[in-house]
Copies of this chain bind each other. A is one copy, B any other.
Amino acid sequence: MLEESAKAAWEYGRQFLMDGKVADYIPELGKANPVYLGLCIKTTDGKTVEYGDVEQRFTMQSISKVVSLSVALQHVGFDKVFSKVMMEPSGDAFNSILKLDTASSRPYNPLINAGAIEVVSLLAPQFSFEQILDFTKELCMDDEITLNESVYHSEERTGDRNRSIAYLLKSKDVLEGDPLAACDLYFRLCSMNVNARSLAGMGLVLANGGVSPATGERLLSAQVVRTVKTLMFTCGMYDGSGEFAVEVGLPAKSGVGGGIMSCVENQMGIGTYGPSLDEKGNSIGGGNTLKYLSRALHLHMFDSEND
């Protein structure tokens, strides 16, 4: 059943690849091959189901916002983090400056650029990039995650909008420490090289309430995981979050590198990779794969028994 649905979902998703296009605002990302599509599902009872390009590496991009938020909530604490960033969907583009200068000096949520840069600035004094990378490996159950140097340098070269955001946060006394240092760590985190399998691993830990099914070790507290999944549900898919919630009904976080990391409560983690993006910046193949899967297996959070 799971295997069949997964295969059908992957085949369904592939049909949309030509309708999207690869991100090119960071030149290095423009080199990705739009025909890739990988799907990996890892279940809490130990099964792994995979189709397509699941070993292909790509950079986490915005999915790393889930990592940095998780680490910050776990180690810096809820009170500090949410005194610096709100929990509200913003209704604006991921890289918007607008609300920051009109509605609230705190970024709307930790999954837009402004919020993530703020969160990363809270990590910078306590954690090196290598330490967060190590934690990411654990979370993804993948020892081979590395820094993609060429994407990192491409981010650096084209990161002026993020630097502008960081300085604006600094000018409002929201960001502490050096704005450029926060940006540098942020660029590195965006440039971690994962694959669909790593993302399925990370989704699995979230599905499992923060405990690694591999080792039985608790990596994140239940409260951190609940918070992160809620924010993924309301804000994880850029300005397409509301529609994704209605259509698919699962917590998910996408990155412009082409990845989507998702999870189903107590059941499974899901990772997809497809660098062809829709106009909202979400993987068009991955998003449609998840949509099919959600319907086929009745995974929508608001599917009733009476359906």
CB within 8 Å of B: which residues of A?
86-92, 96-99, 101-103, 108-109, 160-161, 163-168, 170-171, 179, 207-211, 222, 225-227, 229-231, 233-235, 239-243, 245-246, 249, 251, 265-266, 300-307
Chain B residues closer than 8 Å to A306, beta-carbon distance: 208-211, 222, 266
From B167, B208, B249, B251, contact of A167 by CB (8 A)? B167
Q: A226-B302, A306-B222 known; A167 and B171 CB under 8 Å?
A: no
Chain B residues closer than 8 Å to A304, beta-carbon distance: 207-210, 222, 225-226, 265-266
Give the complex CA separation of A301 and B62 in angstroms.
24
Please give me the residue from chain B that is nearest to A159 by CB atom: B171
Q: A101-B98, A233-B245, A249-B230 known; A88 and B91 CB under 8 Å?
A: yes
Q: State whether A241 touches B246 (Cβ < 8 A).
A: no
Q: State whether B242 touches A89 (Cβ < 8 A).
A: yes
Q: A170-B160, A171-B160, A306-B211 known; A241 and B249 CB under 8 Å?
A: no
Please give me the residue from chain B that is nearest to A173 by CB atom: B160
A216 to chain B, nearest CB (A): 11
Known: A91-B99, A231-B246. 11 other contacts (CB 8 A): A87-B243, A96-B101, A98-B98, A161-B171, A164-B164, A210-B306, A226-B249, A226-B300, A230-B302, A234-B234, A265-B304
Q: A230-B249, A231-B246, A302-B230 known; A102 and B91 CB under 8 Å?
A: no
Chain B residues closer than 8 Å to A98, beta-carbon distance: 98, 101-102
A-B contact pairs, 21 of them (CB 8 A): A86-B243, A88-B242, A89-B91, A91-B92, A91-B103, A97-B97, A109-B242, A161-B168, A161-B171, A209-B304, A209-B305, A209-B307, A210-B304, A210-B306, A222-B303, A226-B302, A226-B307, A230-B245, A230-B301, A233-B234, A265-B304
